[in-house]
Structure 1
Amino acid sequence: MDAHQRRNLALAVAGTVLVVAYAAWAAVHVLIVNPLAAMPGYTVGEIHDAMTAAGQWSGPLRVYITLAIGPLLAIAAFIVTVRRRDLSITSVASVYLALIALGAPGYFWASFDIGMGMADTFQINGGDYSPWAGPLYALSFAALVALIAVGAWVLLRRRTPAAGR
């Protein structure tokens, strides 16, 4: 394995770990942290039980399925990176940056159902009560900015003037 392949592999490992960690934190935030912040004095079990009794909670499966998309795509990208030796480092980085950037809409979608269920059950706002969603959004925004920067760098690099001009 040459240096180029080792760099791509290291990037793919780091990217996959970051995407999986993002999804795991998003799930913990959606299912535990935010409900506890929204309903102080209640346990998670009491919150989910009240939502179930009100017909506003069908369990965590939708959250898990939604948030599993990113890690599954990251694992697929890892497998492609291992198998393909001709990938540029910018293409590998771009895939993982895009997955992290798309984590914010994924988080929003995963939290929407439970947020609306809490709003209807407890007559509260359905948004984030915990500040710990902020790092997820910040990381997604930073990844989007980095993705744009990588794209601009690739475009500028391709537009170098011809020799002799």
Structure 2
Amino acid sequence: MRSPLDEQQRHVVPIVLGGVLIISAYALIGALQITVWNPMAAVPGMSLQEIKTAMSSVNEPLVETPVYAWALAGPVLALTVGTFSIVKFPDLPWTITRYFLILIMLGTPTYYFVSFSPGMSLADAFSTTGGDHSPWSRILYGMSILALILLLLTLRKKDQKHGKATQPLP
């Protein structure tokens, strides 16, 4: 039985799968950091439920819906980019790799944006700082920095399209 993907498309599937998995891991770590690890690190000695109850009692609830929307948006965007890339750019593996590296790089500013409100609610409820108290966010920052470095390293790589080299990104 023949595969619905041609040879070029099968060649880029591992790139797409790797990108989707890395972005999904980023989203999971980010969501856990914001909703579980950071609150528990900021208020040691209290359970997560006790922290949420105390925050709600002073009208500073830990609003999680935007965090979950952010955590879902990353993998959905990665799947969309991956599917589109397999169909439209199967002969451009370096370009597809760059797309995923850019998405990973964008994780840090979007993480900061989505974590701001929960962090400030935590800070206001417990008279602490609104920044990260748990070290797990460093994984996210490290992943984004590594993606930037890898992106810069891939700019010289050229895709072979129909026997001709394409121009690298500016």
Which bin holds the TM-score, normalised by the shorter protein?
0.7 to 0.9
- Match of 2:60, SS? coil
2:50 aligned to which of 40, 43, 46: 46
Could you tell me which residue of structure 2 aligns to residue 122 of structure 1? 126
Counting only pairs closer than 5 Å after superposition, residues 11-160 of structure 1 correspond to structure 2 as 11-57=15-61, 59-154=63-158, 158=167
Report deviation, 1:97. Answer: 0.4
Unaligned ranges ≥5, structure 2: 1-5, 159-165
Report deviation, 1:59. Answer: 2.8
More displaced 10-residue stretch of structure 1: 72-81 or 31-40: 72-81
Unaligned ranges ≥5, structure 1: 160-165
Tell me which amino acid in the other structure corresponds to 1:129: H
More displaced 10-residue stretch of structure 1: 78-87 or 21-30: 78-87
Tell me which amino acid in the other structure corresponds to 1:39: V
Report deviation, 1:142. Answer: 0.4
Are 2:62 and 2:122, in contact at CA under 8 Å, matched by a contact in 1?
A: no
TM-score (norm 2): 0.84
Give the whole-Å Cα distance in 2 for the aligned partners of 1:59 and 1:112.
11
Give the whole-Å Cα distance in 1 for the aligned partners of 2:154 and 2:45.
46
What is the root-mean-square deviation of aligned Cα atoms in Å? 1.8
Change (3 A) 1:97 1:142: same
Q: Which runs of 4+ in 1 moved over 3 A?
A: none
Are 2:52 and 2:61, in contact at CA under 8 Å, matched by a contact in 1?
A: yes
Higher helix proportion, which one? 1
Could you tell me which residue of structure 2 aligns to residue 162 of structure 1? none
Report deviation, 1:122. Answer: 0.4
Report deviation, 1:58. Answer: 5.4
Report deviation, 1:65. Answer: 1.4
